[in-house]
Amino acid sequence: MASGGEKPPPGDTDNVMPQSQISSEPSSSTLDLEKQIATRYLSDNLLRDDKKGPSDGHSTTDTETESDHDDSDEHPPHTNNFETTTPTNPISKVLSRVLTHKSTNHTTRSGPPPPPPDGGLPAWTAVACSHLIIMNTWGFINSWAMFQLHYLNDSPALYPHNTQSSIAWIGSIQIFLLFFIGTLTGRLTDAGYFKQIYTLGAIFQVVGIFTTSWAVDTGYWALFLAQGVCVGIGNGCLFCPTMANVSTYFEKRRALAIAIVASGSGTGGLIYPSMMRELVPRVGFAWAVRSMGFIVLFNLVVGGLFMKRREGLGKGRGIEGWADIVEWAAWKEIEYAFYAVGTWFIFLGLYFGLYYLSTFSREIIGLPFEDSLDLLLICNGLGIIARIGANHAADRVGILNMLVPVGVVGGVTVLAWMGVDSVKGLYVWAAAYGAAAGAIQSLFPAGLTTLTTDIRKVGVRMGMIFTLNSFATLTGPPIAGAIITASGGKYLGAQAFAGAAMLLGTVFLAGTRFVKGKRLAELAGKTWLTVKV
């Protein structure tokens, strides 16, 4: 090769180092290895230029070649610092291009990511592990009625805060934090920090559950911090990233995959109340909670070992500042805004039944403790079937087409609770409510993913609505508890409040379906009523 940074003429291939002479053994110096790569690249291009002929070789690079020679004469080549000095010899030029290309490939992505695999071992492994994580988060939340019942009747250390509304605040702060920090954790997931957020959430969740077993005999505020705040932060770090991660693996079968994941709340809703019913009379409340904590720890370890972020998404979108955490443009989309408002009202009333079912059965119907927990098992058990069934049907008819009528059924079911006054009627109502609530909980995140076209933004867009809904879940159950207290222990006012809120939310979901359906109908040449949304 010509020395002094001069480029050999296109026809002079004798001065070009043959590829066979380039050492195949790794060099002891990274710089030497990079020079070998650049030399091979340059040799190939010069040989191709030689085949094209002199005219071809200089047809588009005469000006650049003359400039190179001028630079070479006036300034000696610098080969020791490729980043701060403009390269003047051919190897430096090629090496600069190689390094720049490599840096660009590993820091940013150009164009959309590859389509979801819609199956395969990594995808279904993520679904199985996510089912366990949702069992830890929503499984505990859906079992809150058993905690509410115990704290009201069998926890003297909580006096004078052992009232319906005060105890409900502990459960509400759990759901509030699960949703509220969703914007932050969802955005960090998009940025590629899934494992770090997962680890943080696992620590908070385990510490919160085990300290709950001690705090219940200490006082109300210790219990509030342990089970409400600490467990709530852990839930928030786990739920949104888990749902966002699973969504990136599926497209056509996304609703079914999310249904299997969401049914983890029903699994937990069966296991934890059963453990409470069997263990509290034998070993006491504290050790019953610790036993649940060991199951939670096992699930977290399995998820941490086998659940991974989907390959092919790059390192994620970096966070430029706090303003980059929220995608403000999403709120300009009418269907997204309607969906946010609609789900807010639905969640304002949805958890009233899950929180107060056991206390209603004891205070109004007169069921013993064990039978009141059986109602919770029926509610959560049928919820599993409804979650999977509703989302499987949604894959065929459309998620929003399924969510709107299910929302109507849920609101009407809560209003129908006002007429329940017998044991048989309560069992029938618990089954109907469990199915409706389970379907809504499962369809809600699946419907949200349909409003996001770029899967790299699904975390932040999901997290924003989660954060908004956190205020509904924070205030809904305590408001219902305050209504019950103000009504002298009667539930009619609270039941009317919860049912009306859910029906109002369904009206906004119908607006989402109309706006999105009309847009899709124009593209497909159909009417907005018949299009799959």
The vertex-211 CA angle with 130 and 301, nearest 5°, equals 30
Burial class (CB in 10 A: 0-12, 13-18, 19+), 427: middle
Which residue's structure tokens are 């991974």? 308
DSSP E strands in 314-408: the ranges are none
CA-nearest of 486, 402, 490, 395 to 439 is 402
pLDDT at 259: 85
Q: What is the 3-state secondary structure (H, E, C) of 113-136?
A: CCCCCCCCHHHHHHHHHHHHHHHH
* 370 C-beta neighbours (distance < 10 Å), count: 10
What region, left, alpha or beta, does residue 312 occupy, with left being phi > 0 and alpha being psi -120 to 50 degrees? left
CA-nearest of 197, 289, 178 to 241 is 197
* Contacts (Cβ under 8 Å, ≥6 apart) of 31: none
Asked whether the beta carbons of 16 and 1 are under 8 A apart, the reply is yes
Asked whether the beta carbons of 112 and 454 are under 8 A apart, the reply is yes
pLDDT at 326: 74
pLDDT at 111: 58
pLDDT at 312: 64
Which residue's structure tokens are 């066979």? 20
CA-nearest of 228, 240, 245 to 184 is 240
Asked whether the beta carbons of 137 and 175 are under 8 A apart, the reply is no
Asked whether the beta carbons of 168 and 195 are under 8 A apart, the reply is no
Asked whether the beta carbons of 123 and 249 are under 8 A apart, the reply is yes
pLDDT at 47: 41
Per-residue pLDDT 10s for the chain (533 aa) are 444 444 444 444 444 444 444 444 444 444 454 455 444 544 444 444 444 444 443 433 343 333 344 444 444 444 444 344 444 454 444 434 433 433 333 334 445 667 778 888 989 999 999 999 999 999 988 888 889 888 988 888 887 877 888 888 999 999 899 988 877 887 788 788 889 999 999 999 999 999 999 998 889 999 999 999 999 999 999 998 898 888 888 888 888 888 899 899 989 999 999 999 899 989 999 999 999 999 999 999 999 999 888 776 655 555 454 445 678 888 889 999 999 999 999 999 999 998 899 889 988 999 887 888 889 899 989 989 998 899 888 888 888 999 999 999 999 999 999 999 999 999 999 999 999 999 998 899 888 878 877 767 777 788 889 889 999 998 999 999 899 989 999 999 999 999 999 999 999 999 999 998 888 888 877 787 778 87
pLDDT at 210: 96
Phi, psi of 191 (to 5 degrees): -80, -5
> CA 338 to CA 177: how far, in whole Å?
23
Q: What is the 3-state secondary structure (H, E, C) of 263-331?
A: CHHHHHHHHHHHHHHHHHHHHCHHHHHHHHHHHHHHHHHHHHHHCCCCCCCCCCCCCCCHHHCCCHHHH
* Contacts (Cβ under 8 Å, ≥6 apart) of 439: 383, 386, 387, 389, 390, 402, 406, 410
* 362 C-beta neighbours (distance < 10 Å), count: 16
pLDDT at 152: 85
pLDDT at 450: 80
Tokens in use for 180? 């509220």
Which residue's structure tokens are 């969906």? 339
Residues shown for the chain: 533
Q: What is the value of pTM for the model shown?
A: 0.68
> CA 107 to CA 390: how far, in whole Å?
40
pLDDT in tens, 205-264: 999 999 999 998 889 999 999 999 999 999 999 998 898 888 888 888 888 888 899 899
Element (H, E) at 382: helix 369-397
> CA 494 to CA 486: how far, in whole Å?
10
**What one-letter code names the amino acid at 374?**
D
> CA 201 to CA 233: how far, in whole Å?
7
pLDDT in tens, 450-472: 887 776 777 778 888 988 999 99
Is-cis flag, bond preceding 160, omega within 30? yes
* Contacts (Cβ under 8 Å, ≥6 apart) of 51: none
The vertex-200 CA angle with 269 and 467, nearest 5°, equals 65
3-state secondary structure of 11: coil
Rg (CA), the chain: 31
